[in-house]
Structure 1
Amino acid sequence: MYNVKKVNEDLYWIGASDRRLALFENIYPIPRGVSYNSYVILDEQTVLLDTVDKAVSGQFFENLEHVLGERKLDYIIVNHMEPDHCAIVEEVVRRYPEVKVVGNAKTFTMMKQFFTFDVDAHAVVIKEGDTISTGKHTLAFAMIPMVHWPEAMVTYDAYDKVLFSADAFGTFGALNGNVFADEVNFKEEWLDDARRYLVNIVGKYGVQVQAALKKALTLDIAMICPLHGPIWREDLGWFIEKYQKWSTYTPEDHNVLILYASIYGNTENAADVLAGKLADAGEKNIAVYDVSVTDPSYLVAEAFRCDRIVFACPTYNAGLFPKMETLLHELAAHNLQKRKVAVLENGTWASTAGKQMKEILSSMKNMEICENTVTVKSALKENQLEQLDQIVDFMTKETIA
């Protein structure tokens, strides 16, 4: 049975959600599922904007057939060639053999790599600033390379002032009947997944996201239609401001984040004692995570959110505890910067974790690193509490700009 939502007079959402998928891109946990958004404009000519993942293709085709009715499909616009949005392009072409496929030159290079149909016979190659008129709607195209693939682009409908934003402004989470952000408690229930989506998927490409935002802000936008998550028609400025912060690596909250690895609980104890001392010093909303328990995607998102971070780790095989080492490399790979950080190490004999953590942190941009490394010998002792106080003093001083 079809499941279609009317977005405005001529625009329809025909996507679908997947609540069974455990890992997005086979790496990021999605306990709340994910939506794959696709849209149709019914004008003098009909336009399909992107498709969906193969897993929900049955629902998609029922939706598309219902919306089109007896009409043919004139255009399919491919804003992003990643398989969760284009896996069934070839099947669309087979079902609607007269359709014109719209994309940029890089789009079609990738399309030929994925599919075997005669791409050139259907291709309409556009470039930055080109437009297509479908009747009363005029669709304009802008390139947003590396947000988050090199062929990515957006489509702007000047008639309804709608931005079809590809992966930009998307979020993890299935759509549960409500397809608009103003119909859900987005700030309380969706923001964490929006942050985790953005910083993990395109956190490395902050400069490219900024370039895309500059293009978007020149447009008169009344609605943003992303490829994942709810559609924005209210309070757009609030969400755009979040993207401004995340893509410039600007801390979102003035909070301390403690990330620890612990084998037998002694490093965990030191982290908890430090958290208590920070609370005594007036810090609120302190976040503490065991890096062996929490998936790195959540920790990367928390590191983007908070302005101050403590890393606590035991030495393991003369190196870093593997889960902490993985996390630190993830943070570096996602270009984390502009944070105050401190380090706590633990070791029963030759402790080297502190030095190795600082080496990785020093490779990141604009990081203010506490000179004092707290070294725990197996278990925290009372005479080391003053060393923890040094971290507290460092963390509670004025934050770097």
Structure 2
Amino acid sequence: MEQKTKIKGKVHYVGVNDRTKALFEGLWPLPYGVSYNSYLIDDEKIALVDTVDICYFEVFLHKIRSVIGDRPIDYLIINHMEPDHSGSLSLIKQYYPNITIVGNKQTFGMVEGFYGITGEQLLIKNADPLDLGYHKLRFYLTPMVHWPETMMTFDETEGIIFSGDGFGAFGTLDGGFIDTRMNTDIFWEEMIRYYSNIVGKYGSAVQKALEKLAPLNITTICSTHGPVWTEQRGKVIDLYDRLSRYEGEEGVVIVYGTMYGNTEQMAEAIALELSAQGIKNIVLHNVNKSHSSYIISDIFKYKGLIIGSATYCNELYPEIGSLLPKILLRDMKNRYLGYFGSFCWSSAALRRMNEFAEKSKFEIVGEPVDMKISMDDLIYSQCENMGKAMADRLKQDRETSQD
């Protein structure tokens, strides 16, 4: 068992899988489940890096003991205090009463607040070291990736970064937990969805964290969610770098809210013109069917965003009205926005979309289109013009990148 859990040196994987939970944080669907990753360093001094959701404590404890037997754990390093990672802290303290909790100033207020624990503590500052014997650790504070206490722990001996939620992804680890032992195909889209919905607001904080990590000789990434990244670590870092700079790919997300299909026909006309103009990455989301987490993920992925809404009770269509604040919350940058509305007797959706456009600070592309009741030749032409305007704007970037 001990050899099967080994990552590198004296570092072992002791995380668990959750295939039961339907919504992460009560918000985000988990079609592939999620892992809660914890790591054990079996050295002269034994260190546990993060814990797991309390629901899985018995499984967690069994995995720990399969590596160290009845020996005590000297340190519990807390990189992140969210309960899916710190939830087993109280029980670990019961089984290992002399354990020293390692964290920063922000950590310990949360430890006491969540669990009422004030025992042995090792307060660390940025770049402080901790010697376990063979493994030499150093701590890097990464506030707001994505809570104020978040930090990362670097094993200088093996080049392993224990990154907390940084570089995380949805999805369980089915059998293997290291990228070289598994098919990682599902994790790339789930990493984008994880980042955009969980961390997406904090792009500048992620950039600062990446700057701190840049000088380190990282061979392995051990996040609290998703695979242990070794051979594919460069792709993971590049993806987080690109997402945190809000650097979208060429493509357009068209999001619409429709009751009877007329607003949808506007979206279809815009998409058809985009395709005719040579834009290949086009994603249409009907908000009645697509969960907002997938929509937000695609908005992070592509530069172009076109939103359409029917008027409903003199307001936006309800699901569009729910989505727009979620987009604003993430403070995205470098996006191109077009929008359209429809109504039967009183135009309101487009007016509300104007308000969103001003708040978003996105670059407005094309003339907004407002349709009364259903499509006619004029509205169809206006939708085509919007599609062409968005395509032209994306092609400008294409040409600039080729210069």
Q: Please, what TM-score do these two structures have when normalized by structure 2?
A: 0.95
Equivalent of 2:157, from 156, 159, 162? Answer: 159
Equivalent of 1:146, from 134, 144, 147? Answer: 144
| Letter in structure 2 aligned against 1:198 | Y
Aligned to 1:289: 285
Q: How does 1:232-311 map to 2 (within 5 A)?
A: 232-251=229-248, 253-311=249-307
Aligned to 1:326: 322
RMSD: 1.6
Distance 1:250 1:184 in 2: 29
Q: How does 1:52-91 map to 2 (within 5 A)?
A: 52-91=52-91
Q: Is the contact between residue 2 and residue 62 of structure 1 (CA under 8 Å) also seen in structure 2?
A: no
Give the superposition deviation at 1:229. Answer: 0.3
Equivalent of 2:368, from 358, 370, 373? Answer: 373
| Letter in structure 2 aligned against 1:377 | K
Distance 1:393 1:205 in 2: 33
Q: Secondary structure at the match of 1:7?
A: strand
Give the superposition deviation at 1:282. Answer: 2.1
Q: Is the contact between residue 76 and residue 102 of structure 1 (CA under 8 Å) also seen in structure 2?
A: yes
Equivalent of 2:124, from 126, 129, 152? Answer: 126
Q: Is the contact between residue 171 and residue 229 of structure 1 (CA under 8 Å) also seen in structure 2?
A: yes
Distance 2:33 2:263 in 1: 34
Aligned to 2:228: 231
Aligned to 1:191: 188
| Letter in structure 2 aligned against 1:319 | E
| Letter in structure 2 aligned against 1:213 | L
Aligned to 1:314: 310
Q: Is the contact between residue 273 and residue 388 of structure 2 (CA under 8 Å) also seen in structure 1?
A: no
Aligned to 1:34: 34
| Letter in structure 2 aligned against 1:45 | K
Give the superposition deviation at 1:4. Answer: 6.0
Give the superposition deviation at 1:239. Answer: 1.5
Aligned to 1:8: 8
- Deviation string 1:187-233 (CA, Å, 9 cap, x unpaired) is x4211110110111111111111111111112110101000000111
Give the superposition deviation at 1:320. Answer: 0.7
Q: Percent identity?
A: 36
| Letter in structure 1 aligned against 2:382 | Q
Distance 1:358 1:162 in 2: 48
Distance 2:342 2:306 in 1: 14
Equivalent of 1:176, from 167, 174, 193? Answer: 174
Q: Secondary structure at the match of 2:393?
A: coil
Q: Is the contact between residue 4 and residue 63 of structure 1 (CA under 8 Å) also seen in structure 2?
A: no
1:116 aligns with 2:112: no
Give the superposition deviation at 1:2. Answer: 9.8
Specify every segment of 5 or more residues in structure 1 that has no aligned partner in the other structure, as ranges: none
Give the superposition deviation at 1:355. Answer: 2.3
- Deviation string 1:166-195 (CA, Å, 9 cap, x unpaired) is 000010001101212233343x42111101
Q: Is the contact between residue 269 and residue 384 of structure 2 (CA under 8 Å) also seen in structure 1?
A: no
Give the superposition deviation at 1:371. Answer: 4.7
Paired positions, count: 396
Give the superposition deviation at 1:398. Answer: 3.4
